[in-house]
Amino acid sequence: MVALVKAAMAPDYPAEIVLVISNRPDAGGIVKAEALGIQTVCIDHKNFKTRKDFEQEMDKALRACGTELICNAGFMRILSPWFVRRWLGQIINIHPSLLPKFKGLNTHARALEAGQKQHGCTIHYVDEGVDTGKIIAQAKVKVLPSDTADTLAARVLEQEHILYPQVLKTIATQ
C-alpha cells in the first residue's frame, strides 16, 4: 500500500489513491496512510452481523470517494461473490507466489518445501475464487539454497513494491 501511495505522489503518475480501507482497527497501514496524507477508514468486520453488511459498508465508502479501481494490498479477507460481482474487473490483488502455484497462505514456506527454483509475486484481477483471477503481471526471484521463508519473503516483497505501482500505472493509462 505504501509503495502505491508513494508512486501516486509523483506529479506525472496517472492514478490517485483516494482512500485506504482496513477491516482491522490495529492495522499499521492505516497509520502509515494517514501519515502520508491519504484519507482512511476502518470498517471493522467484527461490528457487522453478516459479511454482506460489512461489504455493503465498504462499497458505500468506496463509491463515496469516487473509487474506480480497488487495489488490495494486505487485505486478508476473502471477498464475497456479491462484492466481487459489484466491482468485477475493478479489483486487483497482489499475491506472494507465482500463481497458479501456491494459492492462499504460507506461500514462501510452501515454495521452499516444494523445492522450487523460482518464486515471486503475481498481480491478478479478483474473481469469485481465491487467487484464481486473470493474471496481469508477475515478478520472479531465484530461490537460493540458503533461503528461509523469511529471506525469500523479503526478496519477494521488494519485487512487489516495484511491480504493483507499475501495474497500476499501466491500468490507469488504458
Q: State the catalytic residues.
A: 95
Give CA separation, 126 vs 28, 63, 134, 143, 147, in Å: 24, 18, 8, 27, 30
User: What is d(CA 5, CA 61) in angstroms, rounded to the nearest whole number?
Assistant: 18
What are the grid coordinates assigned to 101, written together? 502455484
- R_g over Cα of the chain: 16
Phi and psi for 113 in degrees, rounded to 5? -60, -35
Residues 120 and 139: beta-carbon distance below 8 Å = yes
